[in-house]
Amino acid sequence: MERILAILVKDRSGVLTRVSGLFSRRGYNIQNIAVGRTVEPGVSRMTVTVDADPLTVEQIVKQLNKLIDVLKVSDLTDEPAVERELILVKVKAEPGRRSEIQQMADTFRAKIIDLSPDSMIIELTGSEQKLQAFLTMMQEFGIKEIACTGKISLLRGSKVTCDMKI
Amino acid sequence: MRLTGAQMVLACLEAENVEVIFGFPGGAVLTLYDEIYKKGFKHILARHEQGAAHAADGYARASGKPGVVIATSGPGATNIVTGIATAYMDSVPLIAITGQVATPLIGSDAFQEADITGITLPITKNNYLVKDINELPFILKEAFHVANTGRKGPVLIDLPKDLQAQEGEFYYPETVEISSYKPVYEGHAGQIAKAADAIKKARRPLLYAGGGVISSGAHEELLQLSKMMSIPATLTMNGLGGVPYDYEYFLGMPGMHGTYAANNAINESDLLIAVGVRFDDRVTGKLEDFAPRAEIIHIDIDPAEIGKNISVQIPIVGDCKLVLKELLRRLQPVEKTNAKKWCANVLEWKTSKPLHYSQEPGDYLKPQFVIEEFYRLTEGNAIVATDVGQHQMWAVQYYRSQKPRTLISSGGLGTMGFGLPAAIGAQVAFPEKQVICFAGDGSFQMNSQELATAVHYNIPVKIAIINNKYLGMVRQWQELFYGSRYAHTSLDGSPDFVKLAEAYGAKGLRVAKAEETAATIKKALEIPGPVVIDFQVDPEENVLPMVPPGTSIVEMIGGE
């Protein structure tokens, strides 16, 4: 089962290696990882998606907590949370098909952010399913390349995943 | 106070009451060694960095204090990797300080550069590459704190050569506060109450204790609990000495080469009280069949051990000693007829199916007999270090450890070549005690160069090589599970160990007959320096009983 973990870490060199190394060493497979800053200076947030049963996830969380640079680990899977991923798609776009692509992008509320004589780059944010649906539609035109951020997630409402006063 | 990086390291070691460094110098630690020289700091020069790491480990296991090892960059650092992994698997506090190439050269594939923090990431509790001289005092303090608290373990500090000479402001912090590292020592009161209730109700309780008991110094509480509630006890190899071997209710080791009584008790128990253990595969055999009738209480300081291998009903995260103390406070001695019957059963297994072998006149010398003679002639008072293999199992089966920290053996990693350097480390910690190293002819040759260290500092370890001319444990598996096809386990070409010892300037002795054993051991024990005794034993003796891998621990070969 897919689980989403939010991991707060000290922003030190090597910390990404420590976390990802722990996953591979213990045989857990990372499906998806996104790393970025938080409001707290010196603290980064990793959002990791893994496919594992609940017992394995419990063990992953315990092992992560043993890393000195890991401040807090939260399992967001069963919490009310919003999840987003950002994707950039470069599609073939001959002049004759541009308006067709433009229409489709509008339907998905995607933005065209670059244009060249024979291709365009489209930016889209959303859930995994939405991105997948969009990619399926774009295949018809010919996808040249994609770049994807990986999933990030925040709890709904005023509750926060990670209390900063740790 | 302004100090150079090298001076800071030494000042820190003094502040942490470190008595001795085990190490090996080289290009990237020259400045550090210059400071060791100037200070006259006690240093034991090993003959291979791996030896230095194991010696620091042996020192730590025997004394309970963190061991310190220093090695240079590149190959010096990679040579201590096995030593660090050994300490990590057995939760031994170890501080490894490695030199690194100068800061501007890092990442350029400079001479003797290796990414040792990267390499040791999965085998250290934490590690540090020092980049700013002003951080060094805090890193040193943190390293000792992390290594020696919670579930103990090795910590590595990689110190670039230029920083060793660079000056910075030195202030050694008295305490350390790491927001993300707060080991839990006190057990949860509600969980301890639950455990106490379970113990009161249990009809067939059993204590299964391990290295955590030794590490936290909980041996007295463990014995008290066993005596007060009439609970028989089994100890894993790293837990040996947790209760005296000769204690009436001690059943011996569990697991692959455990006793019939211990394995059967686990199988029949209705309450397994696991203290400072990790349900290692060598103990549990087939997990699904382990302790099938028992509710399990698991006391451990590492929350990640709870439920890792086996699901438990009453987990208690905390320090073994504190938790057992609190548990004892909640229990009163009770007369339980049920418990009496259980104890009688268990003791019957213990007396009717003990470990056994036979040494007949005219037979090959039996390895078990050699160990028993050592036990008899040292009156069980020696510190025993072992290598890994058959001799290790015989040593822990027949040298009846009575006290904690007197058995030093690589349990988790199973590192051949550990014994001699670890014995040297233990002897450095306790110069007045008798230290015996039981080695195999295979294991001994993995670090035999440390004989030079023993001779150099006149460290009077007595090395008993249980010489069966095979990699015995591997040969045993080949005999039992690979149709006696002895693929590359014969050790033809080994040196004459007596001559080898003499070449190093140690004393060498040889025994090939049972009747010569006692006299030779006595003679060796009286020699004031290091001695090697080559015991030429039965080449095809097997370690029994044995639970074949992947089967239940009650399916024992040679258990009867």
Annotated domain spans of chain B:
2-169, 189-352, 367-536
Cβ contact B545:B260 at 8 Å: yes
CB B316, CB B188: distance < 8 Å: yes
What residue ranges do the domains of chain A occupy?
2-75, 82-152
Q: Which residue has the tokens 């023993």?
A: B454
Q: Which of B180, B308, B317 to mutate to test the interface with A (most CBs of A within 10 A)?
A: B180
CA dist B390 and B469 (Å) reads: 12
B365: β partners: B537
pLDDT of residue B555: 93
For chain B, list residues with pLDDT below 50. none
Residue B94, beta-bridge partner list: B67, B154
Contact B293, B269 (CB under 8 A): yes
Q: Determine the Cα–Cα distance for residues A57 and B114; give it in Å rounded to an integer.
A: 34
Distances (CA, A) of A153 to A23, A33, A102, A162, B548: 20, 11, 29, 12, 48
Nearest alpha carbon to residue B533 among B449, B433, B461, B456:
B461
> Cβ(B125)–Cβ(B154) under 8 Å?
yes
**Is B515 part of the annotated catalytic residue set?**
no
Which of B41, B112, B353, B469 does the annotation list as catalytic? Answer: B112
Residues B91, B126: Cα–Cα separation, whole Å: 13
Closest CA–CA distance from residue A11 to any residue of chain B (Å): 13
CATH 3.40.50.970, domain B367-536, yes or no:
yes
Instruction: Give dist(CA B208, CA B204) in Å, integer.
Output: 13
Decide: helix, strand or coil at residue B354.
Answer: coil
Please report the pLDDT score of residue B558 as a whole number: 86
One fold for A2-75 and A82-152: yes
Is domain A82-152 classified as CATH 1.10.287.70? no
- Residue B435 near residue B423, CB atoms below 8 Å: yes
Strands B271-275, B507-511: pairing kind: unpaired
- 3-class DSSP assignment, residue B99: strand
* Contact residues of B toward A, CB < 8 A: 117-118, 121-122, 125-126, 129, 146, 178-181, 302-304, 306-308
Reduced to 3 states (helix: H, G, I; strand: E, B; else coil), residue B130 is coil
Alpha-carbon dihedral A92, A97, A99, A100, rounded to 10 degrees: -90
pLDDT for the residue numbered A163: 58
* Structural fold of domain A2-75: Alpha-Beta Plaits (3.30.70)
Q: Give the architecture-level CATH label for domain B2-169.
A: 3-Layer(aba) Sandwich (3.40)
Catalytic residue among B125, B141, B152, B161: B161
What is residue A13's predicted lDDT score, i.e. its pLDDT?
85
Percent of chain A that is helix, strand, coil (3-state, to 5): 30, 40, 30
CA distance A5 to chain B (A): 17
B111 part of the active site: yes
Encoding tokens for residue B26? 């080289």
State the residue for tokens 């060249």: A116
Look up B112 and say whether it is catalytic: yes
8 A C-beta contact, residue B90 and residue B412: yes
Residues of B in contact with A18 (CB under 8 A): 121
Q: Measure the CA–CA gap between B100 and B131, rounded to whole angstroms.
A: 11
Catalytic residue (choose from B42, B111, B169, B340) = B111
User: What's the Cα-to-Cα distance from B134 to each of B104, B140, B166, rounded to whole Å?
Assistant: 17, 11, 10
Q: Are B2-169 and B189-352 in the same CATH fold?
A: yes
Per the CB < 8 A criterion, the answer to whether A67 and A19 are in contact is yes
Is residue A25 scored above 90 in pLDDT?
no
Q: Using 50, 70 and 90 to split pLDDT, how confident is the model at A166? A: very low
Task: Check whether the bond before B315 is cis (ω within 30° of 0).
Answer: no
Joined together, the tokens standing for residue B280 give: 């290692």
Q: Where are the alpha helices (DSSP H) in A26-152?
A: 54-66, 98-107, 128-139
Looking up tokens 């100890």 gives B235
- Fold of the CATH domain B189-352: Rossmann fold (3.40.50)
Does A164 have pLDDT greater than 60?
A: no
